[in-house]
């Protein structure tokens, strides 16, 4: 009965740790500042600096302050992340998103790099195979009686069997 009680205490401890982890992660998920940080890193600044909205750091940026204010207002109004991103896309265009969506033609942006890598790998394999076709493992040396006699003398003097 003692080993079973010991196992139950371990199970209860594991459950307590799992509950603590879930509570910690769920608290951070509802925090407005972490949501704000997540969203401003999923958007691009529209001034043309090619930086993420939350990190646009050039002096006198005409757009980032207004866009960040719009983002704060959307979060304060209780708008969902999807609706906030959709409103930014409607106002500034699809280029405001830091990463392409996984729908429609934007899916090509996710698939194309892997497809190009696979094609390049296949091409390299085929090229190496083509180069290696018809190659022999051993090089045939020219044969004449004088050379054969010299080789035989070398084998005798060095004790080599000639199987190279």
Which has the higher per-residue pLDDT, 91 or 57? 91
CATH of the domain at 31: 1.10.8.640
**Domain termination residue (choose one: 58, 82, 102):** 102
Query: Residue 7 to residues 17, 18, 20, 21, 134: CA-CA distances in angstroms?
Result: 15, 17, 20, 21, 66
Residues 92 and 25 in one domain: yes
Q: Which domain holds residue 53?
A: 2-102
- pLDDT-wise least confident of 7-16, 28-37, 72-81, 140-149: 7-16
Residues 29 and 98 in one domain: yes
Does residue 80 have a pLDDT over 80? Answer: yes
Does residue 137 have a pLDDT over 60? Answer: yes
Looking at residue 2, what is its pLDDT? Answer: 56
Residues 129 and 98 in one domain: no
Does residue 32 have a pLDDT over 90? Answer: no
**Domain termination residue (choose one: 102, 126, 144):** 102
Residues 7 and 79 in one domain: yes
Strand (E) or helix (H) holding 88: helix 81-92
Residues 109 and 94 in one domain: no
Say how far apart CA 14 and CA 9 lie, in whole Å: 9
> For the chain, how many structural domains are there in total?
2
Helix (H, G, I), strand (E, B), or coil: what is residue 52?
A: strand
Please list, in sequence order, all residues whose beta carbon lies within 8 angstroms of the beta carbon of residue 67, skipping any fewer than 6 positions away: 43, 45, 46, 53, 88, 92
CB 72 within 8 A of CB 64: no
Residues 128 and 71 in one domain: no
Which has the higher per-residue pLDDT, 44 or 29? 44
φ, ψ dihedrals at 37, nearest 5°: -65, -45
């Amino acid at each position: 009965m003692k080993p079973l009680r010991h196992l139950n205490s371990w199970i209860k401890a594991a459950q307590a740790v799992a509950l603590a982890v879930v509570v910690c992660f769920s608290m951070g998920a509802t925090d407005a500042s972490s949501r704000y940080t997540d969203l401003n890193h999923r958007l691009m600044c529209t001034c043309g600096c090619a930086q993420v909205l939350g990190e646009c750091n050039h002096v006198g940026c005409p757009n980032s302050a207004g866009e960040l204010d719009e983002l704060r207002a959307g979060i304060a109004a209780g708008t969902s992340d999807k609706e906030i991103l959709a409103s930014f896309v409607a106002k500034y265009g699809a280029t405001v998103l830091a990463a392409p969506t996984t729908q429609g033609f934007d899916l090509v942006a996710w698939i194309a790099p892997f497809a190009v890598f696979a094609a390049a790998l296949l091409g390299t394999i085929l090229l190496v195979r083509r180069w290696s076709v018809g190659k022999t493992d051993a090089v045939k040396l020219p044969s004449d009686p004088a050379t054969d006699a010299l080789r035989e003398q070398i084998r005798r003097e060095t004790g080599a069997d000639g199987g190279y």
